[in-house]
């Protein structure tokens, strides 16, 4: 049992955010904004997926973890949705309209996946996403502990706090999607190929939106490899091994420090 805590968190975001796209690292900044823009579609998709299979889970402790996982993801996307609205307001109507096309497309994809695709397809999508975000989150914390990335410029504003809280909870609930997949499906080859396909699908949406964001900042509208892969590549690649076990991963002590700041 993962012993998860559902923390009800409502960030206070100022109307004038100055730490979202400060222009210090346009590629890294636009990646995080694009990622945030997917959250109000991706996380509700995960929630719908797990709600639909809860009755199939015969392990009561795992079912309890799934309910807590749903509770955490619901908190995440609501905070992202609120800050996304502020960010798009700052970017202006034309940029927001361009982004909305990709948001609507992603939402339609996820609704279609729930309506038309198999349990196995949706569970491997969820696990592929969760394995990837766990690698990303763990890399972000290791970078922060080494004085890079989050908080490196001496600021730790609401945007960075949102990401730190979200990344910490992604690490906290890292075993749930994996354990559900193993409990109900459990085929390694399908996990590896399905995860790759899911991550490709997700990152195409991120990439499309990142290009819009880069152009809005006067940068070339180019494809970029996800910035966290620079330091997180081997950790990410290990998620595809047959013996991958997210429960055995060591988390950075900063994760508990961050989580201690948020009450249940
Ligand atoms: Fe999340
Ligand atoms: Fe998650």
Residue 52: is its pLDDT beyond 90? yes
Report how many domains make up the chain. Answer: 1
Residue 14 covered by a domain: no
Please report the pLDDT score of residue 156 as a whole number: 79
- 3 vs 38, higher pLDDT: 38
Residue 20 covered by a domain: no
Which ligand has the minimum distance to the alpha carbon of residue 132? 2
Which ligand has the minimum distance to the alpha carbon of residue 75? 1
- How many whole angstroms separate alpha carbon 45 and alpha carbon 107? 8
Could you read off the pLDDT of 113-144 as tens digits, one per residue? 999 999 999 999 999 999 999 999 999 999 99
Q: Which of 13-22, 80-89, 166-175, 241-250 has the lowest mean pLDDT?
A: 13-22
- Distance from the alpha carbon of residue 3 to the mean position of ligand 1, in angstroms: 17
- Distance from the alpha carbon of residue 212 to the mean position of ligand 2, in angstroms: 26
- The CATH number covering residue 214 comes to 1.10.620
Residue 7 covered by a domain: no
Range of the domain at 135: 26-259
- How many whole angstroms separate alpha carbon 126 and alpha carbon 124? 5
Which ligand has the minimum distance to the alpha carbon of residue 129? 2
- Distance from the alpha carbon of residue 105 to the mean position of ligand 1, in angstroms: 20
Which ligand has the minimum distance to the alpha carbon of residue 130? 2
Residue 2 covered by a domain: no
Q: What angle do CA 187, 188, 194 make, to 5 degrees?
A: 90
Q: Which of 13-17, 42-46, 209-213 has the lowest mean pLDDT?
A: 13-17
Please report the pLDDT score of residue 154 as a whole number: 67
Q: How confident is the model at residue 200 (pLDDT cuts 50, 70, 90)?
A: very high
Residue 82 covered by a domain: yes
Residue 202: is its pLDDT beyond 80? yes
- CA dihedral defined by 109, 115, 116, 121, rounded to 10 degrees? 70
Can you count the helices (H) and strands (E) in the chain? 9, 0
> For residue 142, what are the CA distances in angstroms to 120, 229, 234?
33, 13, 14
- Mean pLDDT, the chain, rounded, equals 95
Q: How confident is the model at residue 148 (pLDDT cuts 50, 70, 90)?
A: confident
Q: How confident is the model at residue 39 (pLDDT cuts 50, 70, 90)?
A: very high
Report helix angle 93-116 to 60-91, nearest 10. 160
């Amino acid at each position: 049992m993962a012993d998860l805590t559902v923390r009800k968190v409502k960030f206070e975001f100022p109307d004038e955010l100055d730490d979202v796209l400060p222009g210090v690292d346009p590629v890294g900044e636009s990646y995080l904004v694009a990622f945030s823009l997917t959250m109000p579609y991706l996380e509700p998709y995960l929630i719908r997926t797990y709600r639909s299979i809860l009755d199939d889970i015969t392990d009561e402790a795992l079912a309890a973890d799934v309910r807590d996982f749903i509770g955490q993801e619901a908190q995440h996307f609501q905070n992202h949705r609120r800050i996304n609205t502020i960010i798009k307001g700052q970017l202006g109507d034309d940029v927001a309209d361009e982004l909305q096309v990709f948001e609507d497309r992603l939402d339609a994809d996820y609704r279609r996946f729930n309506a038309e695709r198999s349990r196995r397809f949706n569970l491997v999508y969820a696990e592929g996403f969760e394995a990837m975000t766990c690698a990303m989150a763990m890399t972000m914390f290791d970078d922060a502990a080494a004085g890079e990335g989050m908080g490196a410029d001496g600021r730790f504003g609401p945007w960075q706090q949102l990401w730190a809280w979200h990344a910490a909870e992604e690490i906290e609930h890292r075993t749930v999607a994996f354990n559900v997949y193993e409990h109900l499906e459990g085929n390694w080859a399908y996990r590896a190929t399905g995860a790759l396909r899911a991550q490709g699908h997700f990152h195409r949406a991120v990439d499309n939106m990142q290009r819009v964001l880069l152009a809005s900042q006067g940068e070339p509208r180019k494809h970029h490899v996800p910035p966290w892969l620079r330091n997180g590549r081997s950790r990410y690649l290990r998620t595809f091994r047959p013996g991958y076990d997210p429960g055995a991963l060591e988390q950075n002590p900063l994760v508990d420090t961050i989580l201690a700041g948020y009450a249940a």
